[in-house]
Amino acid sequence: MTAYSPVNTAMSSQYQKTMIGMPGQMSSTRRYDMCMVFKYKTNKKYNFDENDQESTEGMIRRLEKPPDQEKKRMEAWKQRREALLKQMKNCGLNIFCFYNRDRDEVFCKIGADAEKLCITAARMKYKLQLKPEYLSAYAEYRQDFKGRGDRDGKDRRHYSQMYERHVGADEVADESSIFTTRDKINIIHHCIVSKDKDCAGINIAQLMTKEHEEILQNYFPLHEKSKLDEIRGAQLSRKEYIAHMWHWLTMPKEHSENVRAYFGDKVAFYYLWMSFYWKWLVIPGVIGAALQVLDVVFHSPDNPTAIPFCLFLSVWTLFLPHFWRRQEAKYAISWGTFDMVAELEPARPEHTGEPRINPVTAQVENYFPWHQRMRRYMCSITVIIVTGIALGVFILTLLVFRHFEKDTTPGGIAMWQFAIALIVEVNNYGLSRVAQRLTRDENHRTQSEHDIHLLAKVFAFKFVNSYFVLYYIAFFKTTTVLPPWINFIFRGTEEPVQEQCIKGRFSGHHDCLLDLQLALAMFMIVRLLVQNFSEFLCPKLKTKFRSGRTEFMNWWRNLLNPVDRLEQADMSQAEQEAKREPYDPFTDFDETLVTHGYATLFAVTSPWVTFATLIWIMVETLLDVKNLTENTQRPLPLKMRSNEPWDTAFDIYGVLAAITNLLLLIFASKQYSDWSFTIKLCLFIVFFHAIVLAKIVLMALFPVVPRSVNLLNLKQANMVHRCLENIKVEPQQDFSLFRQHGADNFEIMEQDVFDDEDTEPTFGWYQFKNSMSVLNQDLRKVLDVGTVTILVVTILLTFGCAMCLLLWHASHGGAHSLLGNALR
C-alpha cells in the first residue's frame, strides 16, 4: 500500500461492493468505530509519493521537493505506519485509510465484523445484557456449540437467543446486533492494545511520545452523528429542547441509559452524581437563603439561627456520600458492574522500567522496583511540604499587604479579597500541573494507582490554597499580632500591630464572621466565572484559533500567488473530531469537589452559599453537557462500579465540614463566648460524637447496598448460572407412591464403624508453644493490620490528649478547676 484514498474522492468500486446490500444502494451499518491519526508529511507543501503536479478537484497544486533529511523522516514514518496497519489487519480488524484535507496526515478508521467481535468477546469473557425475560442480567458471552455429533444432541448449547438485540428503527438485526456501539468500541480497543491471541498489541501512548516522534497524532472513538444529535437535542424545537435539557439535570432512567450506552459508565456516573447532588442541595439551599435574610435582620451571621443550621449541615454533609453510594449500587446492578472486583489491571502505556516476565500473566512487562518508587515518594512529599509552606507564606504576605493597603486601594478590602481569590484560582491551575508532574514521575503501574495518587496530591494542594485564607480569617486573624519590623516597613514605626476584622455596619463591632462572609463571597464569584470560562469557552476558542490560523494561511498564500490559487475543501467528520480536545473527567470532578468545599466548610457563616452552589451545579451541568457533546472527542466507554476515588474524597470533605462548622460555632462565634475553653472542647466532642453516632445508626438502618439490590443480584446470578449451564427448572415431585413398599431394605448399624478413636490430649510446654503459634497465625489472618493500627493510634492519641489537658489545667490553677467548671 503506497497511497491512501483522498477525502474528497469517491470510494473504489471494490470498497462499494463490500458496503452495499443491493446494487447501487449503500448500507447503513456502521463499519468503523475507532480512529487513529498518523503523521504523513513534515510539511504539507512537500511532494512525497505524489506527482509533481497533483490534480485536486480541477485545481493544480504545486508541491516542492523535500530535503533529503525530511524525506528520510517521512519514509521512516511510512514504514512504521505500514507495519502498524499490517499488524491490525493481520489480527482480523477492518482498516480504511484516507488523507486529511491538507494531505499531511493519514486517518485510519478501524472496525471489526460480527465474527471477529464474537470470537474476541468469547475470549475476553465479555459481559453482555440478557433479554428482559432473563431479568436483564449481564452474562459473559459464549458462542453457540453445535455438539459433538451425537444423534440426540444433548450437548448442544444455543446461547445467542438469550442476549438482548440492539437495533434501531431502520436497522435489521444480525449477528452483531447483540453488541452495542459501546461494546464494539471496547472490544476493538482490546484488539488493538492487548497482547492476547489475534490482537495487535500496539502501545498507543508510547507512539504518542516524543521518543517515537509522535507518529501517532490522535486516537479516539468515532461519534455517531444521528445518536449524538439525539443526545444533545440538536433537531428539537425550543420547547422540546428545554425539556430535553431538563432530562440532563434530572437524569431519568431512560436518559441515563442512553448516556451510558453512548459515553460509557464513567460519564454517566458523573451526570448521575450531579443530578443527585443538586437535588440534595435543594433543602439546605432553601434553608440557607431564608437564614441569610435573618442574618441581614440580625446584621451578622453570628446569631441564634447558626446553632440549628450548623447541626443540620454537619449531618447533611456526612449523610450525602452514604446515600449516593446506595444510588450507585442500584445503577451498578442494572448495568452489570455490581460484581466488578479488583482484577490484575494492565500496565499503563507510560509505565517504564526494566523488562521482566510478569509472574501472573507470563508476559514481558516493565518492572519498576519498590525502593526506587519510595525515593520518588519522598521527593514528592518534600515538594508538597515545601510548596505548602511557600504557599502559606505567599498568602500571608498578601494578607499583610491587604491589611496596610486596604484604605488606599479603590474598593477597599473587597477589591483585595477579589484579587486574592483570583490569585488562588491561578495557583490552583499551577498546582494541578505540579501534581500531575509529580504523579507522572512516580511511575505508577496501573491507571487506578495513578488516579488515586494524583487525587491525593491535588486534594492536598488545593485544600491549602483554596481554604487557607478562610481558615485564617475564621480562627487566627483576631489573635495575630504582626511583628514590629513589618509595621516599620509599611508605617515607619516599630509598634506591634493587632489585626482586626471588618466592622459591622450597624453594630460597629469587629466581626470576623462578616469578614469571612465577604471573603467567601469573592471566592465563590471568582471561581464560578473562571471555571465556566476555562471549561466552556477555552475549548471553543482553541478550535476557532486552529481553524482561523489555517484559513489565514490559506488566504495569505492565495494573496501572494493569485495565479495558483488553492481552494480548501471541507474537512471530513473524522478530521473535525480529531481537532477537538480530549475529554478529561478528572477536571469535572475536581472543580465540583472544590466548590463543594466552599459550600460546606464555612456554610454556618454564609448560609447563602448553599443556595448559590445549587444554582451553580445546575448551570455547570448544562455547560458540561455542551462541552461534552460539542467541544470534546468521544471518550472511551469505560466500565465502572462507582465514582471512586471521588466518593472517598467527598466522604473526607463531609468529616472536615462537620468539624469546621462545629469549631466555627463553638470557638469563633459569640454564642458560647462566656464558656471556658474546657467546656467548649467538651461541647465540641459531644456534638461531633453525636453526629458520628447518628451516621452509624443510619448505616445500620440503611446499608450501603440496599437489600433490594442484594436480592436482585442473587436472582440474576442464579438466572445467569442456569442460562449458561442449560439447567432447566423442573418442579419437585414425590415418586414414593409409585414405589413398591418393602423392596428396599436399609441396614442400620449400632455405631459408626468408620469413626477413628480420638487420641487422649496431653499437656506440655511443646503443646503450649505450638498452640500459641497457631493462635498467633490465625489472629494475623483474621485481624486486619490497618484496623489494629488505627485502634492503637486512636488509643495513644486519646491518652496523649488527656495527659496534655491535665498538664494544661495543672499549670493554670490546678486540675481541680476542671471539676469546678463542670459543676458550675
- Domain final position from 688, 711, 734: 711
pLDDT value of residue 59: 41
**Which residues are CB-neighbours of 431 under 8 A, at least 6 positions away?**
387, 458, 461, 462, 465
Are 705 and 801 in a shared domain? no
Whether 227 maps to a domain, the answer reads no
pLDDT at position 191 is 92
DSSP states of 2-67: ---B-TTSPPPHHHHHHHEEETTEE-------EEEEEE--SSTTB-SSS-SEEEETTEEEE-BPPP
Domain C-terminal end among 667, 696, 711: 711
635 within 8 A of 585, measured Cβ to Cβ: yes
Q: Are residues 34 and 158 in the same domain?
A: yes
Domain of 121?
A: 13-222
Alpha-helix residue ranges (DSSP H) falling in 733-784? 765-782
- Clarify whether residues 188 and 289 are in a common domain: no
In-domain check, residue 286: yes
**Residues 668 and 475: beta-carbon distance below 8 Å:** yes
CA Rg value for the chain:
34
Do 472 and 597 belong to one domain? yes
Per residue in 111-153, pLDDT (tens digit) is 999 899 999 999 988 999 998 888 888 989 988 877 666 555 5
pLDDT for the residue numbered 19 = 41
Domain-located, residue 233: no
d(CA 82, CA 84): 5
| Residue 767 within any structural domain of the chain | no
pLDDT digits (tens, 9 = 90+) for 208-227: 877 777 888 889 999 988 88
On whether both 132 and 82 belong to a single domain, the answer is yes
Length of the chain measured in residues: 824
pLDDT on residue 25: 37
What is the model's pLDDT at position 492? 62
Answer yes or no: is 362 within a domain.
yes
Does residue 792 share a domain with residue 682? no
Q: How far is CA 532 from each of CA 272, 459, 537, 539, rounded to the nearest angstrom?
A: 20, 21, 7, 11
Torsion of CA 347, 178, 635, 361, to 10 degrees: 0
| Assigned domain for 86 exists | yes
User: Which H, E and C letters describe 479-547, residue by residue?
Assistant: CCEECHHHHHHHHCCCCCEECCCCECCCCCCECHHHHHHHHHHHHHHHHHHHHHHHHHHHHHHHHHHHH
Judgement on whether residues 67 and 173 belong to the same structural domain of the protein? yes
Residue pair 262/582 in contact (Cβ under 8 Å)? The answer is no
Contacting residues for 193 by C-beta, under 8 A, at least 6 apart = 199, 200, 201, 202, 203, 204, 346, 349
Q: In which residue ranges of the chain is pLDDT below 50? A: 1-2, 6-28, 52-60, 563-568, 814-824
Do 275 and 210 fall into the same domain?
no
Q: Do 503 and 609 belong to one domain?
A: yes
Q: How many domains are there within the chain?
A: 3
pLDDT at site 794: 79
Q: Does residue 284 sit in the same domain as residue 159?
A: no
**188, 222, 256 — which closes off a domain?**
222
Domain shared by 282 and 159, yes or no: no
Same domain, 550 and 685: yes
* 760 within domain boundaries: no
Host H or E run for residue 219 = strand 216-221
The answer to whether position 73 is within a domain reads yes
